[in-house]
Structure 1
Amino acid sequence: MLGQDARATSKVAPEAQALRGIWLTRGKDGRITAYAPGEGGLRRWTEKRPGGPEWDASDVVPLPELTHLSVAQNAEAYVHFAGRRERPAADGDGVTVDIVHAIQYQTGRPVSAWNSLGNPHKEPDVGSRFGAPVVVVNGAGEVNIAVRNGRGGMMVRRERKDGKWRGWEDLRCTRIKEVPAVAVLSTGCIEIFAVTNKETLHWEQEKPGGGWGDVRRSPAVVRPGSLAVLETSAGRATYYWTDPESGVVAYRAGVGPMSLGGVPGTGAHAAIRTVLDGFDCTVLAHRGANGAAAVGVGMTENEANGVWWSDTGAPCVNTPVLTHDALGRVVMAVVGEDGTPRVARQTDGPGLSLDEWRVL
């Protein structure tokens, strides 16, 4: 019971890792699709009917030598993929890195060709350190991709309404570590949150599709790679990360960081809002220090009331993911130690409980 008591083969640059993770999307037809790296590319499983519980056999989406992948959807449920591609340099010395983008227009349909968005660095050694992308789609349907650049700054590239891409924008900062957290708010504005060794950096768009205001800085201790973000009220984002001393923390502009407890291991957090027993609640998930997926439940923007953590007992090698199915139930997915994805779904009853894990 959860919450009843009180988410290559070439030479790899230093930051790059083998592609790993799991992603869940929900199509216009209501069916969930799960994606996880596997032999031949990105393996893809789709529910046989909206709400499940049965899934079709997997097929494979080819991947072009990616080290990292980010997935987002627009209002039409198109699935946008943004990846960091790494290939041996033409002269045989080092690697070349670029960001690539592709689209899946309908559930279970083929993915478009991968389009290169390039790399803003002309120096090969700096370009090889270009980071992992985070893709989001704003309310106007424009794709936005944020990447830590090869010098530790923050770069953004945005799609125009006519489908063409603007150039890379430099947000003028240094010493960023790891992957940023990026949120599209109900106002249409985008926020970017990143960390250095000594502080957090927070940018907000001045208006939908507009420029970026001055960066806001705040001292905080953030475990690398642990950032997550969720819109917790209209136009307001809450950021979550792991503090090495106090566990999970939550932060909103002007509020926090607030300790939420938990015993997280490595990796980021997953976050989703859902209604439980008539209350607006936030569900958090991470890979616990014991290697199993853990879930926390608390009332949204009421951190002082506490977050109740439970160990699901499901071993996972990466951050769990959370979504809602066609019936509004919370669905959680993990990749087990054997590399096999597993999915659990909310059951009826008070609080949040999950049914048995289903192997895909």
Structure 2
Amino acid sequence: MNGDWLIRGRDGRLSVYLTAGDAVLCRAERGPGGPWEAARRVGGDQKLHPVLALGRGADGYAHLVSWRPTGTQESGLVHSTHFRPRLAALDWAPIGHPDKKGARTGTPAVAVDAQGRAHVFVRNKGGGVSLAAQKEKGGWNPWRDLKGSDVQEELAAVTGESGRVGLYAATSGGLLHWRQEEPGADPVLEEAIEVPVRPGTLRALATSAQRTTLFFTDTSGDLCAWRPGTKPVALLASAGPGPVAAVRCALDGHDCTLLAQRSVSGRVAFAAYPTEQESAGAWWTESGPRLPADAEVSLAVDEDERVVAATLSRSSGQLLLTRRKDEPGLALEAWRQV
């Protein structure tokens, strides 16, 4: 799964999304902070590949993108919108293929602009990035080639506080960054830097009115932060092999960035620091039980502005959840299975 799969909906309820065989499932709270419903299939009965990209609009709507088989050795991308966890999601609608037809070309990424339009990014067969963007009044614009080369499998899409959409990608020798210069425009390739990046570790977050920050692990094992126009900064040693989850939240009255990652011990490790102040330092604190190797971590802020962390193992189907206690620091409630 690419993107935050723990999402606070427009009605304040939390939802989680996951792939299960040839389907995408959703579980949601019955009410904010309340018990959880059983898993439901999303988007109708179409059979999908086990890949999912997620994005959340400022309106709280969840946008889901997956690949579906369309023929022998051929696939196409599909999109669904989930307006509220209590309602059924829209049926999967086709948005085509970046090369008109062919096999899957990579894991998609999705971001939603200030007007609620989904932007779907995916690697194309030439090794660059292609974009399909929703029209403001429905439907999709034609696929656009955003250029780039030697792009790796997983992309990191992000929406800035301005509502404009950006994208990060790793190559074999560095990082690329695309950004919209104005609302509704195609993102343009603004910057490329040489840095040794470990594949599959990108996660982007809006961190100020004008900037987004990319978190990634370099080949030496350091978790780094990069804001375009500056040099990457090594924040601390990575807790584990996969990408971090990241969210901005208020901790003791300060604007902080909270990171979470499944550590090499199998537990969830947390680290927080003042947003965009990497020089202040950060350190990991582990929490919860040991998790299966395929467990993923996601972070959100609930209706009461409390941090919520969730872990999900697709092999076991186990969903665990914790919330920040109403006390100073980052004290968490006991993890519970839902």
> What is the TM-score of this pair, normalised by structure 1?
0.86
Query: Which whole-Å CA distance do the structure 2 matches of 1:323 and 1:23 have between them?
Result: 9
Q: Which runs of 5+ in 1 are unaligned?
A: 1-18, 90-94
Q: CA deviation at 1:44?
A: 2.4
The answer to whether the aligner puts 1:225 opposite 2:200 as a matched pair is yes
1:151 match: 126
Query: Which whole-Å CA distance do the structure 2 matches of 1:249 and 1:312 have between them?
Result: 22
1:70-104: CA deviation from partner (whole Å, max 9, x where unpaired)? 12222332221111223551xxxxx1111100122
Q: CA deviation at 1:242?
A: 0.9
The answer to whether the aligner puts 1:206 opposite 2:188 as a matched pair is no
Q: Which runs of 5+ in 2 are unaligned?
A: none
The answer to whether the aligner puts 1:328 opposite 2:305 as a matched pair is yes
Q: CA deviation at 1:278?
A: 1.3
Query: Which whole-Å CA distance do the structure 2 matches of 1:236 and 1:37 have between them?
Result: 32
Query: Which whole-Å CA distance do the structure 1 matches of 2:183 and 2:4 have between them?
Result: 30
1:122-150: CA deviation from partner (whole Å, max 9, x where unpaired)? 5x6xx314111111110011111011112
Q: Secondary structure at the match of 1:192?
A: strand
Matched-pair contact (CA < 8 Å) for 2:21–2:50: no
Matched-pair contact (CA < 8 Å) for 1:193–1:200: yes
1:265-290: CA deviation from partner (whole Å, max 9, x where unpaired)? 23221110111111111001112223
2:296 match: 319
Matched-pair contact (CA < 8 Å) for 2:2–2:108: no
Q: Secondary structure at the match of 2:271?
A: strand
Q: CA deviation at 1:181?
A: 1.1
The answer to whether the aligner puts 1:82 opposite 2:57 as a matched pair is no
Query: Which whole-Å CA distance do the structure 2 matches of 1:170 and 1:40 have between them?
Result: 29
Query: Which whole-Å CA distance do the structure 1 matches of 2:221 and 2:326 have between them?
Result: 33
Query: Which whole-Å CA distance do the structure 1 matches of 2:21 and 2:133 have between them?
Result: 32
Matched-pair contact (CA < 8 Å) for 1:156–1:168: yes
Matched-pair contact (CA < 8 Å) for 2:157–2:167: yes
1:70 match: 53
The answer to whether the aligner puts 1:43 opposite 2:25 as a matched pair is yes
Stretch moving more, 258-267 or 110-119: 258-267
Q: CA deviation at 1:215?
A: 3.5
Compared CA separation, residues 250 and 73, structure 1 to 2 (3 A): same
Query: Which whole-Å CA distance do the structure 2 matches of 1:21 and 1:213 have between them?
Result: 21
1:308-338: CA deviation from partner (whole Å, max 9, x where unpaired)? 2111243152431000111111011112463
Q: CA deviation at 1:208?
A: 1.2
1:55 match: 36
Query: Which whole-Å CA distance do the structure 2 matches of 1:287 and 1:24 have between them?
Result: 16
Query: Which whole-Å CA distance do the structure 2 matches of 1:214 and 1:46 have between them?
Result: 37
Flag the structure with more relative contact order, 1 or 2, with Cα contacts below 8 A and sequence separation at least 6: 1
1:118 match: 96
Query: Which whole-Å CA distance do the structure 1 matches of 2:2 and 2:246 have between them?
Result: 19
Query: Aligned-pair RMSD on alpha carbons?
Result: 2.1
